[in-house]
Amino acid sequence: MNKKLFAILLIIAMLFGAGSVIVMSTSGVGGVKLLTGVEKEEYDLFRRKFAKSEQLLEYITENYYQPVDEAKLLEGSYYGMFDALEDQYSEYVEAKDSESFQNDMSMEYTGIGMVFFMNEEGLPEVESVYIDSPAEKAGIKAGDNVLRVDNEDIKDQDSTEIRDKVRGPVGTTVNLEMRRGDKVFVVSVKREKLSEITVACEKLAGEDIGYIQITGFGTSTASEFRTALTQMENEGVASLIIDLRNNGGGLVNSAIEVADMLMDKGTVVYAEYQDGSREYYNTEDGRTKLPYVLLVNEYTASASEILAAGVQGNNEGKIVGSKTFGKGIIQSAVQRSDGSILKITITQYFGPSGNKIHKEGITPDYVIDLTADDVEDVQLLKAIEVLK
């Protein structure tokens, strides 16, 4: 509709009072429709909400010094709404980036095997590194910051844009300038086709203790963990150490499935939604007979914290290590008909006794911090001591 004509019609409509309004219509007698009172209220609400956006769009397109792409401006406004939430875990994903996003969720893609989040400095901070991945082989560790990608400063860039820069065709190399504490270094990493293995296990040398490491919770993690658990039981170990250090989380249901193998009947966590309603995540009897200890650190986050909260809250096992990250919120990702994805925080999780996880973390039963100066893995040694 012509904007000036639309404005004139609005002025005319005011003469008809509060009960009805005349607007242009693509159907109906003479192209004019009489709205009911309810329809007018909805129309007025829509006008109040979006009039400013329309005015801004019109102002930019008419006054910017060169032609602009209106579709691109509108796409930018979608990003802006999510940015205004000031929630680093909620984001708008354009259709062109949806495949990359979905590959992240399934943990299958071409890249180097590094998971990061955007920290308060506006830099990517490594949250976890895949087992036996190019990133692990290059010496990248949780807590490292990425400063430059192929010599390009990426501070304050969008996380999706940074992910795309790090990824690329199989066999090509990406150069990363990293920071670890005060040390800055450069690594060259060759990209590979990755299908993450999230669970690894072994019997500790000289000990009657099995060791199972979980680096993330993907679609196959629960089955991988069951296989590892069965292997350790068949090897006749007396106890287990389950390492959740540097585990940035993943799929909640996957973590609950693992909890079901480690807990008898009980509540792992409960979720509380915007309207105050709660959803409880429970396990059934039938846990492993092996006593175990969970290892955690400051990069144990999200779904891995959910598992730790359930184990600790039900006194199923002891926890050793550093206080966890403190991400007790979970996101839902919905794909729209245009291919774009809306990822938004929908709920907050609490431990069985109501303890808050988000921004609080899980405090281990035995707090043991591991520093760069430690020659040995003092957290692992403490876990062995607890089991003996």
Q: Is 220 a catalytic residue?
A: no
Angle between helices 303-313 and 252-262 in degrees, nearest 10: 30
In degrees and rounded to multiples of 5, residue 179 shows phi and psi of -130, 130
| Secondary element (H or E) of residue 283 | strand 278-283
N residues, the chain: 388
* CA–CA distance, 47 with 234 (Å, rounded to integer): 68
Residue listed under structure tokens 């005011």: 14
Q: Is 33 a catalytic residue?
A: no
Are residues 355 and 313 in contact, defined by beta-carbon separation less than 8 angstroms? yes
Are residues 268 and 256 in contact, defined by beta-carbon separation less than 8 angstroms? yes
* Closest listed residue to residue 249, CA positions, set 193, 198, 291, 289: 198
* CA–CA distance, 203 with 212 (Å, rounded to integer): 9
Which of 128, 220, 302, 304 is catalytic? The answer is 302
Cα separation values, 101 from 38, 164, 341, Å: 41, 10, 9
Which of 128, 133, 254, 327 is catalytic? The answer is 327
Which residues are catalytic, by number?
A: 302, 327
